[in-house]
A and B are shown apart, each in its own frame.
Chain A
Amino acid sequence: MGAIFRREFGAYFTSSIAYIFLAVFWLFSGYFFYGTSLYAATTDMSGMFQSMFLICVITIPVLTMRLFSEEKKQKTEQGLLTAPVSLGAIVFGKFFAAVALYTIGILMPFVYALILSGFGVVEWGIVFSNFLALLLLGMAFISVGTLISALTENQIAAFMLSFVALMALYLIDVIAGYVTIDWLANGLRTLSFYTRYYSITCGLFNVSTIVFYLSVAVVFNFFTIRVFERRRWS
């Protein structure tokens, strides 16, 4: 797993995806930080953290689009799948490489908090729990993108499909609002990524949220492993 993680993480930088991701991520988060905290002259960063959700929906597909699609296209997948490593190590190696780069991206709010601490009192506990929430949310999103990348050999297709999938997860509450069947609407609401995330930005942090995001990540990575197993046996 270590070898795959290191290669994948390095590939982000040689393929310049890392720079594009970080630039876009920091540009948008900086803009919202300026708009909701600096311009509004408050040390409350919840507005910025709330908008981070949408930034993730847009930028995480960039991180995950080539994870497996590129391997398939360049036929390097064959080398990977015939190497003495388990499918789990392959999938999680790539997954954590994406998570690592993503983590660099979401460290930026600490810098913002540091800037704000020059003007007033910052609630570091809330900043930290928001960071943790972003990390968990990102892990769940990255696992979804990883699965989609394993299903196609076209990076652009992987990007668009992941974007649509994450957008659907973002809008799940809106969709639930249109559903007239009660049990279905309630079912959709319990799957809501945004409500959980939103309550953290307001300072409410509970264990079920952690469990929810982590299990999404595990389940989707498991699906990815299944995709490769099925392909081998087909």
Chain B
Amino acid sequence: MIEVRNLTKHYGDKHAVNDISFTVDDGEILGFLGPNGAGKSTTMNMLTGYISSTSGQALINGVDILEDPIKAKSFIGYLPEQPPLYLDMTVKSYLNYIYDLKKCKLPRRAHLNEVMTLCKITDVQNRIIKNLSKGYKQRVGVAQALINNPPVLILDEPTVGLDPKQIIEIRTLIKRLGKNHTVILSSHILPEIQAVCDRVIIINKGVIAAHDTTDNLSKNVSSDHRLLARIEGPREEIVRALRDIEGIKYCRADMEREPGVYEYELEAAPGLDIRRPLFDIVSEHHWYLLSLQSTELTLEDVFLKITMGEGVVIPSQQKNGGE
């Protein structure tokens, strides 16, 4: 269990993290979401005792990380943004080193084999880390965090730089680990957090911008209210007509994609499906609707919405509408 109380970190005048509080229960996966430089890594570095906090407290299983760092650290398996791998070592000797470093008491052979099997690195165990692909290096990074079976896992952007297949593998692994570990996972990729985490904290400019369960955040998901339409016809007229659709909040003509064909960005009130009225208007005027696409909200949009108090809107996977 992790308890964070009013954690703050200042670098001179700069507030990297400002007054963050949250708890993570046993067996829960918490997602830490935020753009680069939001304070995710700083928070994780404070939780793991790599840097100190300016004020506030972080308790790992009830142990303060600053008061009894060695004990608190022994509860944590940490995968920093850049896995701390000694490139000249083989996977096996590296994991053996970590085993010794963490003063692990579990049966050495069996434990290392178990971790390697879990991370699927058994067949590269005799290779030198330097020569491994990025995906394998990342998995060795996860493996070193798992050694000594710590109750708390803190993973800083574990899927960065991996190919889609590897991302899915790592996600599956984290989900499996979440069953008997407390996990904090950071990412700047929205669907990833959604796929893996029970609860999400959105952090921006060092403060918590939103904090809710993934389910709750997903309830407000609306992917149909924001559309990209490609319509053939006179531009000004089309914009004017589209703005008349009931419930539309925003309409703008984008660039010309094909001769005489523009792309239009449309946004309606959340939860309102404007695809049908849109189709009606286009066919009434005898224009041609060449494509219709719902767009995925970018993270920036989510932040904008959260900070502007418009409620949380998180898009689901991108869907393609018909013509």
Contacts and interface: CB of A to CB of B under 8 A. Distances in A.
Contact of B85 (A11, A15, A76): A76
Contact of A74 (B78, B87, B144): B87
B51 interface: yes
Contact of B88 (A14, A80, A82): A14
Interface residues of B, number: 30
A11 B78 CA distance: 23
Contact of B84 (A10, A15, A77, A232): A77
A-side interface mostly: helix
Contacts of B76: 82
Given A11-B88, A79-B83, A84-B71, 5 more contacts: A6-B100, A75-B84, A82-B48, A83-B73, A232-B51
Given A76-B86, A79-B84, A232 B103 contact: no
A122 B49 CA distance: 56
A10 B128 CA distance: 14
B82 interface: yes
Interface residues of A, number: 25
Given A79-B80, A83-B102, A232-B50, A11 B97 contact: no
A78 B47 CA distance: 13
B87 A75 contact: no
A83 to B, nearest CB: 5
Contacts of B101: 3-4, 80, 83, 85
Among all A-B residue pairs, the 5 with the closest Cβ atoms: A79-B84, A3-B100, A84-B74, A84-B73, A76-B84
B144 A79 contact: yes
A84 B103 contact: yes
Interface string A73-102: 011111111111110000000000000000
A7 interface: yes
A74 B73 contact: no
Interface string B33-70: 00000000000010011111000000000000000001
